[in-house]
């Protein structure tokens, strides 16, 4: 297994978000530092903060969260653990999904609601400006022009630096870009779930950051004894590390954000940046995923 106390996310290379935010490509997703069902407080608050601090120590300077994680819990813990932030640390958050209970999510894109949530995110994260704010989902009941219109006003007021989208297709990105500059897209994507290949290609073409959530392969492909497991053992790595390493080589715009509540697992994920395979080996692994 590839891991080391000297792991550093710098090994993953860098990407410049929006033309002015340079981040190491291996990031951290802070959804899991909450309770079961992404609801309420985590079982170990101190442990969650320890993971956040260790991530930054290990070179992670791109952390992704959302107001819906908890709700409010993930943002608050990030603010408590990391503010004032180390130079170069970029905190991305999202708004537009509401919570009715554990594992329950409902999109709300009304301008007045999004305005309120941005103000609350600023307070919890302890920042004067959000580096990257993303529309968590497009609300089918609200024209995206209305949802992003208020975000553009907040951007003009200096409360938001850059804007992104989540779970969208190219046509939706094009529509949004007529309202505001879109610098990132966050969709579910991994070696075993590649329904958004068209979006990855779109983002690569336009130099838009693609942030894959659920970045580790699952299902039959990743099961013990399966093709990915066999390949991982051949290269003295894990299925998770191989999955993350594949994302890093898939396109230079991909910014994986694996989440965990364990420092050991965090370091293992970061070490995936050191996993190097030949082009032919990657092709064989991709073929096995079909």
Q: Which residue's structure tokens are 């497009």?
A: 138
- Residues with Cβ < 8 Å from 147, sequence gap 6 or more? 96, 109, 110, 111, 114, 135, 138, 139
> In whole angstroms, what is the distance from residue 257 CA to residue 29 CA?
5
Element (H, E) at 175: helix 170-177
Catalytic residue among 28, 69, 85, 202: 69
Q: What size, in residues, is the chain?
A: 290
Element (H, E) at 191: none
Say if residue 129 is exposed, middle or buried (CB neighbours under 10 Å; 0-12, 13-18, 19+): middle
Q: Is 69 a catalytic residue?
A: yes
Catalytic residue numbers read 69
């Amino acid at each position: 297994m590839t891991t080391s106390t000297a792991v550093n996310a710098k090994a993953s290379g860098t990407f410049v978000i929006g033309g002015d935010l340079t981040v190491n490509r291996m990031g951290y997703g802070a959804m899991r530092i909450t309770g079961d069902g992404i609801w309420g407080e985590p079982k170990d608050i101190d442990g969650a903060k320890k993971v956040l601090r260790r991530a930054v120590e290990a070179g992670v300077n791109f952390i992704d969260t959302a107001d819906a994680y908890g709700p409010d819990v993930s943002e608050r813990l990030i603010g408590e653990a990391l503010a004032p932030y180390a130079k170069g640390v970029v905190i991305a958050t999202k708004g537009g999904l509401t919570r009715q209970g554990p594992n329950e999510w409902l999109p709300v894109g009304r301008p007045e609601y999004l305005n309120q949530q941005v103000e609350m995110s600023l307070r919890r994260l302890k920042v004067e400006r959000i580096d990257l704010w993303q529309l968590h989902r497009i609300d089918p009941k609200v024209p995206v022009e209305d949802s992003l219109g208020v975000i553009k006003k907040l951007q003009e007021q200096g409360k938001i630096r850059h804007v992104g989208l989540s779970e969208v297709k190219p046509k939706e990105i094009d529509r949004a870009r007529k309202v505001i500059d879109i610098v990132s897209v966050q969709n579910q994507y991994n070696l075993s779930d590649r329904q958004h290949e068209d979006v990855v290609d779109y983002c690569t073409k336009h130099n838009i950051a693609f942030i894959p959530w659920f970045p580790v392969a699952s299902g039959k492909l990743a099961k013990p004894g399966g093709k990915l497991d066999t390949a991982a053992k051949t290269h003295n790595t894990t299925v998770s590390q191989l999955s993350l390493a594949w994302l890093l080589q898939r396109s230079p715009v991909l910014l994986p954000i694996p989440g965990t509540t364990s420092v050991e697992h965090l370091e293992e994920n970061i070490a995936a940046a050191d996993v190097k395979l030949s082009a032919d080996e990657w092709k064989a692994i991709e073929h096995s995923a079909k």
